[in-house]
């Protein structure tokens, strides 16, 4: 079946990388500050190396785009590109909070066709191939029902929640601050939460895998201005992300779109 081999290889690789991340979390790691003032750890780099070796050894003709690798413009001439965030939620990893994850997606002709997001702390792996539905720990994911008498849960960045960027939604949703946008997208795809939103800049590696997971459960995914996401772009950045599960009420989706227009 199409994409079966790629899905198997990436899930094996991401579990091996997760085991190394947990080992370093337990035994110790180094922290450095990148030029953009964001932290990077020796675990980020170790995970990046494991994924790059395991994926490109099997698929040597594919391109590569990762937060922790120098960007090689040669990827733009590739039909297939692996888009990787070795550890999304590095601050959560540093603080030993169980919300960091590893995100990997295969892009073919500008759209994700294979995706995996793994939370090593909880041993939860969400994965998909295009047209195959959402998998949870290698089995079809069960449908999550949200009680109709409860507010939908929306994941927000802690900073945006703190400054009140989504205050207009608070009467209609339960806000859940979360450090990892990739993990938020996995939870939104699964139905454990009903939406994830940010109007801060995000990169392709933050959202590539989550985009396919959301699409495979019938949800919606766009940038902060409501446009569809395209991948393997020369500038791999978006102005914000809005993702919703099918169970997210229409009025909340409409409010998110209106807020995006106002913010833009």
Q: Which of 204, 180, 206, 205 is nearest to 193 (CA)?
A: 180
pTM of the model: 0.96
Domain 153-263 carries which CATH code?
A: 3.40.190.80
Number of neighbours of residue 163 by Cβ within 10 angstroms: 10
The DSSP call for residue 231 is -
Residue 187: strand, helix, or coil: helix
User: How many angstroms separate the CA atoms of 55 and 13, rounded?
Assistant: 7
User: How many angstroms separate the CA atoms of 47 and 173, rounded?
Assistant: 35
Residue 68: strand, helix, or coil: coil
| Segments making up each domain of the chain, as ranges | 4-140, 153-263
Q: What is the pLDDT of residues 145-195, one digit of tens each?
A: 777 778 999 999 999 999 998 988 888 899 999 999 999 999 999 999 999
CATH superfamily, domain 4-140, is Fructose-1,6-Bisphosphatase, subunit A, domain 1 (3.30.540.10)
Number of neighbours of residue 235 by Cβ within 10 angstroms: 7
DSSP 135-188: EETTEEPPPPPPPTTSPPEEEE-HHHHHTTTTGGGTTT-EEEE-S-HHHHHHHH
User: Exposure string (b/e) for 46-65, b if CB count within 10 Å is 16 or more?
Assistant: bbbebbbebbeeebeebbbb
User: How many angstroms separate the CA atoms of 21 and 52, rounded?
Assistant: 15
| pLDDT in 10s for each residue of the chain, 264 residues | 689 999 999 999 999 999 999 999 999 999 999 998 899 999 999 999 999 999 999 999 999 999 999 999 999 999 999 999 999 999 999 999 999 999 999 999 999 999 999 999 999 999 999 999 999 999 999 877 777 778 999 999 999 999 998 988 888 899 999 999 999 999 999 999 999 999 999 999 999 999 999 999 999 999 988 899 999 999 999 989 999 999 999 999 988 888 877 776
pLDDT at 259: 84
Q: What is the pLDDT of residues 74-85, one digit of tens each?
A: 999 999 999 999
pLDDT at 87: 98
Q: Confirm if 174 and 150 have CB atoms less than 8 A apart.
A: yes
- What angle (nearest 5°) sits at the alpha carbon of residue 101, between those of residues 221 and 220? 10
- Beta-carbon contacts of 186 under 8 Å, excluding residues fewer than 6 positions away, are 101, 117, 119, 124, 126, 209, 210, 213
Q: Confirm if 201 and 237 have CB atoms less than 8 A apart.
A: yes
């Amino acid at each position: 079946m199409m994409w079966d081999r790629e899905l198997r290889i990436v899930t094996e690789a991401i579990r091996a990388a997760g085991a190394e991340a947990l080992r370093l979390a337990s035994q110790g790691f180094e922290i450095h500050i990148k030029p953009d003032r964001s932290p990077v750890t020796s675990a980020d780099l170790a995970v990046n190396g494991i994924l790059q070796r395991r994926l490109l050894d099997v698929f040597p003709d594919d391109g590569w785009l990762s937060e922790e690798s120098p960007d090689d413009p040669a990827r733009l001439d590739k039909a297939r590109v692996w888009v990787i965030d070795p550890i999304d939620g590095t601050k959560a990893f540093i603080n030993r909070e169980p919300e960091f994850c590893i995100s990997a997606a295969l892009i073919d002709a500008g759209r994700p066709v294979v995706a995996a997001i793994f939370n090593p702390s909880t041993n939860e792996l969400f994965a998909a191939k295009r047209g195959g539905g959402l998998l949870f720990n290698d089995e079809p994911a069960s449908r999550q029902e949200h009680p109709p008498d409860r507010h939908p849960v929306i994941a927000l960045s802690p900073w945006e929640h703190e400054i009140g960027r989504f205050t207009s939604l608070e009467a209609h949703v339960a806000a859940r601050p979360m450090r990892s946008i990739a993990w938020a997208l996995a939870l939104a795809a699964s139905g454990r939460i009903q939406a994830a939103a940010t109007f801060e800049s995000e990169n392709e590696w933050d959202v590539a895998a989550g985009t396919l997971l959301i699409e495979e459960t019938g949800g919606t995914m766009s940038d902060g201005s409501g446009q569809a996401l395209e991948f393997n772009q020369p500038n791999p950045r978006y102005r914000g992300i809005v993702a919703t599960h099918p169970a997210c009420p229409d009025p909340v989706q409409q409010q998110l779109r209106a807020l995006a227009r106002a913010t833009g």
